Amino acid sequence: MNYLADNSYLAIIPEVTAGTPLIPTNFVPLISESIKTNVNYLADQRMKGVAWKSSDLLRGNRVHEGDLVALGDPDTLGHFLNMVMKLGSTTGDADGYTHPFTVGDPQSYTIEIKKGLYAQRYFGVLIDELKMDFSEGQLQLTSSIKAMGQFSVASVGVALTGAGMTDLILDDQYDISPNRGLVVGDIIVVGGVDVTIATVAADGFTVTFLSTVVTASVGDPVYLKPQTASIASLQDPFYLGNMLVGIGADETAATAASASRTLATPVYDMSISIKNNLFAQNGSTRFDPVTIVPRTKEAQIALKQLFENVSQRQDFYDKTKQAITISALGKFIKDDFTTQESLTLTFNNVKLMTSDNAIEVGELIADTQEFEVLYDSVDGAAMSASLVNRTAGGSY
């Protein structure tokens, strides 16, 4: 049987304790994903009296990382900002919730991706780099993530023999704690039978369920059953066409410019990258990373604007401080037309790393620019974000 990728899903949920998995309940339409578990197998080259490289493999430290690509609609975007920045106190109500984000330690998540017959779950997930750019004028999010562990497929360690089965012992070939990543309430498939987990034992290899008729031999597969994706309402992504970019000498001037179509600077392409430079370290107690924490944060902005005067060239040569405020508006949240979906990104101090204006026959000259986001000692900040949407703060 073949499985179409379009039937897959991404489900996510913030964790209460970093690295302690939960069942993801927020479903996000996914464009693509490329997350991999690298188990780092190594050939066992101990001498065994045979003139051949190896007769088996040994395990190395595991790494779980890769990219998620999704569109940046106002509700979905909050989760990805939460995985890369620090969420403050949400205000507002059903007429519109305002979520402030600042530079700081982000929230870890459990994520789950349907892979045909089984679900691939990662936990202790943080974003190493969040890239926001525009594909066909639509805000697209590319999240490079790292995770502390995974569960998807395991093996039966002790045979199940029919009626009255209540315990499943998992094989320890992958890990000596193979039930790590499972949660009470998960549905796993063993011996072709769906069983709902009642407890995940502290011994690391046992899960229990209500008395069930199930037969399975040692080595038979056990896998996490996919959920049924539920997306009640899906909002449009933010659009480049509904975005105002304010560029000024400082944050106050940039924000004022971003509030007016007259003062805003038209840009024809834009990309924003926010990086946490995650420290992921393997150590004792796990083949997986035992800790994933942010290190020095950084951000870059790339944009393209038509050349109109020499001021940007002057700012490039002189390393002149500028500020950029990006304001994107979406739909009105209710029919009373009082509060709109919105995303505001404020960069208090940026300076040009590159500013090119190549020329081609028949083309208008454009400034193609890359800004480094710097810490501003006057404002005491490098950047911040504010998101207004339909999602209550407790969801993040």
Q: What is the pLDDT of residues 137-182, one digit of tens each?
A: 999 999 999 999 999 999 999 999 999 999 999 999 999 999 999 9
Identify the pLDDT of residue 314. 87
Sheet holding 153-155, edge to edge: 153-155, 221-224, 187-190, 193-196
Structure tokens belonging to residue 310: 């020499």
In this prediction, residue 5 has a pLDDT band, given cuts at 50, 70 and 90, of confident
Residue 242 has pLDDT above 90, yes or no: yes
Identify the pLDDT of residue 173. 92
How long is the chain? 396
pLDDT tens figures, 45-89 = 999 898 999 999 998 999 999 999 999 999 999 999 999 999 999
**Contact between residue 355 and residue 369 where contact means Cβ atoms under 8 Å apart:** yes
In this prediction, residue 301 has a pLDDT band, given cuts at 50, 70 and 90, of very high
Average pLDDT over residues 242-269: 95
Identify the pLDDT of residue 366. 85
**DSSP letter (8 states) at residue 227:** P
φ/ψ of residue 329, rounded to 5: -110, 145
Residue 251 has pLDDT above 80, yes or no: yes
Q: Check residues 306 and 251 and name the one with the higher pLDDT.
A: 251
Structure tokens belonging to residue 4: 């179409």
In this prediction, residue 230 has a pLDDT band, given cuts at 50, 70 and 90, of confident
Average pLDDT over residues 331-339: 87
In this prediction, residue 337 has a pLDDT band, given cuts at 50, 70 and 90, of confident
pLDDT tens figures, 375-385 = 999 999 999 99
Strands (E), 307-391: 322-332, 340-356, 366-373, 383-389
How far is residue 160 CA from its own chain's centroid?
A: 38
H/E element, 252 = helix 251-258
How far is residue 341 CA from its own chain's centroid?
A: 21
β 298-306/366-373 pair status: antiparallel
**Contact between residue 265 and residue 393 where contact means Cβ atoms under 8 Å apart:** no
Residue 232 has pLDDT above 80, yes or no: no
Identify the pLDDT of residue 357. 86
Identify the pLDDT of residue 17. 95
Structure tokens belonging to residue 2: 């073949």
**Contact between residue 150 and residue 223 where contact means Cβ atoms under 8 Å apart:** no
Residue 31 has pLDDT above 80, yes or no: yes
Identify the pLDDT of residue 83. 97
Identify the pLDDT of residue 284. 87
**Contact between residue 332 and residue 351 where contact means Cβ atoms under 8 Å apart:** no
Q: Is 204 helix (H, G, I), strand (E, B) or coil?
A: coil
What one-character-per-residue DSSP string does 263-290 give?
TSPP-SEEEEEEE---EEEEETTEEEEE
* Short-list 299, 298, 300, 293, CA closest to 278: 293
Report how far residue 39's alpha carbon sits from residue 76's, in angstroms, rounded to the nearest whole number: 31
With a pLDDT cut of 70, the percent of the chain lying above it is 100
Q: What pTM was estimated for this model as a whole?
A: 0.93
Residue 3 has pLDDT above 90, yes or no: no
**DSSP letter (8 states) at residue 225:** P
In this prediction, residue 91 has a pLDDT band, given cuts at 50, 70 and 90, of very high
* Short-list 70, 68, 11, 61, CA closest to 41: 61
Amino acid at 288: D
